[in-house]
């Protein structure tokens, strides 16, 4: 166990998120003994979300520690989610003796965790001997951050954890791992092709994904955009990489970019369901230039005219060097027409917020009209956001200006990442965090608000309580006295839950109360929870993505 703690220290791990029990309790103490922070959670999935968020924000793998069987499985959901989202993290789980598992002897918490994890992680290692631990940790780190980042699993078996070694012998196992992330440059031909396509574009645009935010190459992206006057469209977690309200932001002209642009540079984004697979309403003659570290991402749903495979920083360096002030062929009316459209759309949006200003009880937009200026005046706050309507409306309402200050439920559009991600963001960065949560979304991770309280983190949780999943007006279909499947509790007092753990709490019913509570909470830099009472009919089925329901369900409103 000491070897594990020492191995984590050796590769520079600063925080471990987890939940102790047999067989990892002592390891957690020893990890603290190495000067590594051990953040103990109430549910492994949230500890995993914290580790994944640290990975996204820092480019270093976040570490999750779980007990065997159920704890392992709970944590694995977050590790799988991290892999899908390309966040580097390492899940280390206590595991039963594999020789007993393999013989199906019915040992304590018996589960073939190694093979259970394999299909949903980037790499997996099983340590059956203490001497293997340093190499496993080092290789897991490398696997998590190299190429396309992702979740890595280490099966830390009880025999390996309990093995006693001579201290001098053990010390010899450690080595300094060098060059843990080795950026790979794209080939020159691909760069030439990309520059040729870009400079001949009439209506170019840039699509920024969370891979672009993750890569921490903010200045290079800014140079490409500003020097060559290219409008940009950020995906939700790339918001702020360039200012959402900047003069070249095409945030409010998404459809126009999809339909009218002739060349789009996809930077660290995937043309998946969130981008209509690059088909449908996209201009059928579109030429895509795609920058991605993973060659297998090219041509996934649509042919890529100019794939540039390699590390984002090196790819942008090569493109900028090749461009070298080259003249663009862009139609000057392209940018000005997008700017005119943005102006019109933004005015419409402001009017929409304004129209809900006095609604009582408040609606999502009423509350967001209050929250928007407060968050925008504090751009260094990291915003965590999940829910259905709460996610969609908050994403649309709040402009971001700083990179990597927004973490949401990402590629799988899951619920249940809130408290873990908020805690991970606060621990990894030391910054203040505001989590804007739907009442349903909060339910998945609510107990881990207590973790933020125990660690005294500067986290404000804002719960939009409309009493249900989507909304609180569901009607049961058959003769039952049970609540409808979508109904939660419009009268629930989430603030009292916060009170139980010593947080500063508020129950707000009016815009003025919300304004005062949020301002005070942020200033306190302490754990705070605000229950925002919304109307039960605020919000619609599945938010903006109702079209993804099987057809018959869409008719039920
Ligand atoms: P979004 O959901 O914002 O569209 P995705 O998660 O779909 O973003 O896409 C992110 C992409 O970024 C992935 O295809 C991933 O391979 C790529 N990526 C991640 N890190 C890097 C990096 N350092 N260099 C280049 N590409 C990267
Ligand atoms: Mg709700």
pLDDT tens across 280-322, in order? 999 999 999 999 999 999 999 999 999 999 999 999 999 999 9
pLDDT of residue 541: 84
pLDDT of residue 80: 98
- Same structural domain for residues 70 and 207? no
pLDDT of residue 101: 97
CA distance 92 to 94: 7
- Same structural domain for residues 240 and 301? yes
Domain containing 247 — which CATH number? Answer: 3.40.50.1220
The answer to whether position 555 is within a domain reads no
For residue 265, the enclosing domain spans 188-336
How many other C-beta atoms are found inside a 10 Å radius of the C-beta of residue 344? 12
Last residue of a domain, one of 173, 200, 216: 173
Q: Are the C-beta atoms of residues 274 and 391 closer than 8 Å to each other?
A: no
- Same structural domain for residues 291 and 231? yes
155 beta partners: 93, 126
**pTM of the predicted model as reported, rounded to 2 decimal places:** 0.97
The total of structural domains in the chain comes to 3
Q: Confirm or reject: Cβ of 278 under 6 Å from ligand 1.
A: no
What spacing in Å lies between the alpha carbon of 267 and ligand 2's midpoint? 34
Which residue, 449, 456, 394, 453, is CA-closest to 418? 449
Tell me the H-state helices in 86-175.
98-102, 113-117, 133-145, 158-162, 167-171
The answer to whether position 4 is within a domain reads yes
Residue spans of the chain under pLDDT 50: 557
Burial label for 346, CB within 10 Å (0-12, 13-18, 19+), is middle
- Same structural domain for residues 385 and 272? no
Q: Confirm or reject: Cβ of 341 under 6 Å from ligand 1.
A: no
User: Residue 208: which H helix or E strand, with range?
Assistant: strand 204-208
For residue 242, CA distances in Å to 224, 230, 317, 337 come to 11, 12, 18, 20
pLDDT tens across 475-501, in order? 888 889 999 999 999 999 999 999 999
The answer to whether position 553 is within a domain reads no
- Please state, rounded to an integer, the average pLDDT across all residues of the chain: 96
Among protein residues, the one with the nearest Cα to ligand 1's atom 11 is 268
Specify the length of the chain in residues: 557
What spacing in Å lies between the alpha carbon of 293 and ligand 1's midpoint? 7
- Same structural domain for residues 155 and 38? yes
Q: Is 180 helix (H, G, I), strand (E, B) or coil?
A: coil
Residue 394's contacts (CB-CB under 8 Å, 6 or more residues apart) are 368, 371, 383, 385, 387, 436
User: Residue 385: which H helix or E strand, with range?
Assistant: strand 382-386
CA distance 216 to 209: 12
The answer to whether position 76 is within a domain reads yes
CA distance 534 to 540: 13
pLDDT of residue 67: 98
CA distance 104 to 99: 9
Domain containing 507 — which CATH number? Answer: 3.40.50.970
The answer to whether position 522 is within a domain reads yes
- Same structural domain for residues 207 and 135? no
What spacing in Å lies between the alpha carbon of 426 and ligand 1's midpoint? 23
The answer to whether position 342 is within a domain reads no
- Give the number of the ligand closest to the Cα of residue 490: 2
Greatest extent of the chain over all pairs of C-alpha atoms, in Å = 74
- Same structural domain for residues 168 and 197? no
The answer to whether position 414 is within a domain reads yes
Mutation probe of ligand 1 site: the residue of 57, 85, 207, 270 with most atoms within 8 A of C-beta: 270
- Same structural domain for residues 314 and 369? no
- Same structural domain for residues 110 and 250? no
The answer to whether position 69 is within a domain reads yes
Last residue of a domain, one of 115, 143, 173: 173
Give just the sign of the alpha carbon dihedral 81, 83, 88, 91: positive
pLDDT of residue 554: 57
- Give the number of the ligand closest to the Cα of residue 468: 2
Reported ipTM: the value is 0.92
Q: Are the C-beta atoms of residues 84 and 412 closer than 8 Å to each other?
A: yes
- Same structural domain for residues 70 and 210? no
- Same structural domain for residues 77 and 226? no
Last residue of a domain, one of 173, 199, 229: 173
pLDDT of residue 256: 98
- Same structural domain for residues 245 and 137? no
CB-facing half-sphere around the CA of 303: CA atoms within 13 A: 5
pLDDT of residue 398: 97
């Amino acid at each position: 166990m000491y070897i594990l703690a020492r191995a984590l220290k050796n590769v520079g791990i600063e925080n471990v998120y987890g939940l102790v029990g047999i067989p990892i309790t002592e390891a957690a103490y020893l990890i603290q003994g190495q000067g590594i922070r051990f953040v103990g959670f109430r549910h492994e999935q949230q500890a995993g979300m914290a580790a994944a968020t640290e990975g996204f924000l820092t480019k270093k793998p976040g570490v999750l520690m779980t007990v065997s069987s159920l704890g392992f499985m709970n944590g694995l959901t977050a590790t799988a989610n991290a892999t899908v989202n390309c966040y580097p993290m390492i899940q280390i789980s206590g595991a039963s003796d594999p020789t007993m598992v393999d013989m199906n002897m019915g040992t304590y918490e018996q589960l073939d965790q190694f093979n259970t994890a394999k299909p949903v992680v980037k790499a997996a290692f099983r340590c059956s001997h203490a001497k293997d631990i340093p190499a496993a940790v080092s290789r897991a780190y490398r696997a998590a951050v190299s190429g396309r980042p992702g979740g890595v699993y280490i099966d830390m078996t009880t025999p390996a954890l309990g093995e006693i070694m001579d201290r001098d012998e053990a010390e010899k196992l450690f080595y300094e791992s060098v060059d843990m992330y080795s950026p790979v440059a794209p080939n020159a031909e691909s760069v030439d092709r990309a520059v040729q396509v870009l400079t001949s574009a009439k209506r170019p645009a840039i699509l920024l994904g969370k891979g672009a935010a993750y890569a921490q190459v903010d200045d290079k992206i800014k140079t490409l955009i500003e020097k060559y006057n290219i409008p940009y469209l950020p995906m939700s977690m790339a918001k702020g990489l360039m200012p959402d309200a900047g003069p070249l932001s095409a945030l409010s002209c998404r459809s126009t970019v999809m339909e009218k642009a002739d060349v789009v540079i996809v930077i660290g984004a995937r043309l998946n369901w969130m981008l209509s697979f690059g088909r449908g309403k996209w201009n059928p003659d579109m030429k895509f230039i795609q920058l991605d570290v993973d060659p297998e991402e090219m041509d996934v749903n649509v042919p890529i005219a100019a794939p540039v495979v390699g590390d984002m920083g090196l790819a942008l360096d090569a493109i900028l060097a090749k461009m070298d002030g080259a003249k663009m062929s862009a139609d000057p009316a392209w940018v000005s027409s997008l700017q005119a459209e943005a102006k019109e759309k933004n005015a419409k949006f402001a009017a929409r917020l304004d129209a809900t200003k006095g609604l009582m009880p408040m609606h999502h937009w009423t509350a967001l009209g209050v929250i928007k200026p407060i968050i925008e005046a504090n751009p260094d706050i990291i915003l965590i956001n999940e829910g259905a309507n709460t996610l969609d409306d908050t994403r649309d309402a709040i402009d971001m200006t700083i990179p990597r200050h927004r973490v949401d439920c990402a590629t799988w559009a899951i619920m249940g990442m809130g408290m873990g991600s908020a805690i991970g963001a606060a621990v990894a960065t030391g910054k203040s965090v505001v989590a804007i949560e739907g009442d349903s979304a909060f339910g998945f991770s609510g107990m881990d608000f207590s973790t933020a309280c125990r660690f005294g983190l500067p986290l404000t949780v804002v719960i939009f309580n409309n009493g249900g999943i989507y909304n609180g007006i569901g009607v049961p279909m058959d003769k039952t006295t049970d609540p409808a499947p979508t109904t939660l509790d419009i009268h629930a007092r989430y603030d009292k839950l916060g009170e139980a753990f010593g947080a500063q709490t508020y129950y707000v019913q009016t815009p003025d109360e919300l304004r005062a509570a949020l301002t005070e909470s942020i200033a306190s830099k302490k754990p705070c929870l605000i229950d925002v009472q919304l109307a039960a009919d605020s919000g619609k089925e599945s938010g903006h993505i109702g079209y993804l329901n099987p057809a018959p369900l869409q008719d039920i409103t």
